[in-house]
Amino acid sequence: MKTIKIEYKIIIGIFLFTGLLIGISKYQLTENMTQQYIESQKSKNNLLLNTIVPIIALNLSLGLDQSNEEYLGYIGENNIDLESIVLLNSQGYNLYEYTKTLSNKKLQYQLYDQDILDPLTQEKIGKVKLYFSDQNYQTMLNKNQEITFRIIFMTLVLLIVFTFLVRREFRFLKHLSQNVCNYDPKMNNFNLSKTDRKDEVGIIHNSIVVMVSKINTYAKLLDETNHSLELKVQKRTQELEISNKKLLDLSLTDPLTQLSNRRHFEEHSENIYDIARREKLSVSIVMCDIDLFKKINDTFGHIVGDEVIKQVASLMQENLKRTTDFLARYGGEEFVIIFLNMDSEGAYKICQDIQESLKTLKNYQTHGIQIESVTLSFGVSSCTPQGHDNYKELLNKADLGLYKAKNNGRNCIVINNI
């Protein structure tokens, strides 16, 4: 079906609505006229009744019955809608009756009646009944009903036409709106294509189709951008993790020997000590110091001193076989080892192994300088952690052992258990 532009629909609607208003106005006008007619008929009939009653009353009181008959006959003939006149005496008997075509169906007539009073004594001497035809009224009423039915019929027709037009538009718009509501740019599930309709609904439909197409394009672009961003973020995250690890390593590692530094040792020792306490295992700490290192420094310089420290650290690390054995540079030429699940004898044995390994460094050359020998002093302390004691106490004991070893002439191992 060919589409009609909205402005034409509005114009048609206005015309139809105007027609409806005119119909309603006409009906209202007819209704008012009918009411006015009824009122004027009532007034006229009452006026007639009020006019004839005094004359009838006088004639009755004077016994001029013939005058009444003639008078009422005259009244009846000269009032088109007056169908019947009935004159009754005070006892209710018929004195006179004038009838045109009055049928038995008196309900179709408008009755106006009035008691007749004696003009002198005001006693009731009769009653007059006037029957007026309501044919004209019925005709007007029928015409008005006909107009009403026409208006109702027209209204129904207009309603059906409007409903058809509006439903047609709404069906199209509903389909469009359902597609818009269900549209998901990720699923790209908008199935409508451009329409050939040239009216406003068609324009809106095509605009939405174009808009959805643009959204699809931008959504795809956005997806690609997001993916690229995700890759970049992932890469940056990895770089950050590496940097963090490096920083962490730097913060925990001694840059010269690549061993753990004192801070790392302290953190690690607390954990080891807690494990030992929980598992009721023995813990040993070894404090170690390069003997006469100041002399090496003073004699050969710091570069050689540093090389010595690196060599010693490497040898010590090589002698630690278990993954739980933890070696750290404690500071300067001092090293510290913590052993989990190892008593002082075990630790002592490892210290001996280290001393034995040091012999390989006898008369070794570095930076063109001959170093005769490097020796180490060891302080060993062991315990099985209990209660609230901590590793620092054990460390102090090991340090005290180291002090004793220095006092004992160096290059020796002193066990100083708690």
Question: Which residues in this chain contact other proteins in the complex, by CB under 8 A?
Answer: 54-55, 58-59, 61-64, 66-67, 69-70, 119-121
**Nearer CB in complex with other proteins: 6/64:** 64
**Nearer CB in complex with other proteins: 58/219:** 58
**Nearer CB in complex with other proteins: 125/281:** 125
**Nearer CB in complex with other proteins: 55/204:** 55
Closest CA to 237 of 249, 229, 225: 229
Minimum Å distance from CB 112 to other proteins?
Answer: 21
**Nearer CB in complex with other proteins: 54/331:** 54
DSSP state of 185: T
Closest CA to 329 of 315, 313, 340, 314: 313
Long-range CB pairs of 210-214, under 8 A, 24+ apart, other chains included: 212/180, 212/183
Q: How far apart are CA 129 and CA 49, in angstroms?
A: 9
Minimum Å distance from CB 61 to other proteins?
Answer: 6
State how beta strands 376-383 and 413-415 pair: parallel
DSSP conformation letters of 219-281: HHHHHHHHHHHHHHHHHHHHHHHHHHHHHHHHHHB-TTT-SB-HHHHHHHHHHHHHHHHHHT-
| Active-site annotation holder among 333, 334, 345, 356 | 333
Kindly compute the dihedral angle of the four CA atoms of residues 59, 63, 66, 67, in this order, to the nearest 10 degrees. -20
Which residue type, as a one-letter code, is found at position 363? N
Minimum Å distance from CB 118 to other proteins?
Answer: 9
Per the CB < 8 A criterion, the answer to whether 254 and 261 are in contact is yes
Minimum Å distance from CB 47 to other proteins?
Answer: 16
Element (H, E) at 282: none
Instruction: Report the interhelical angle of 135-182 vs 200-252 (nearest 10°).
Output: 30
**Nearer CB in complex with other proteins: 71/137:** 71
Per the CB < 8 A criterion, the answer to whether 97 and 85 are in contact is yes
**Nearer CB in complex with other proteins: 114/282:** 114
Minimum Å distance from CB 52 to other proteins?
Answer: 11
Query: Within a 13 Å sphere around the CA of 81, how many CA atoms are in the beta-carbon half?
Result: 18
Minimum Å distance from CB 74 to other proteins?
Answer: 11
Active site residue 333: yes
Neighbours of 396 (CB within 10 A): 16
Minimum Å distance from CB 70 to other proteins?
Answer: 5
Q: Which residues are catalytic?
A: 333
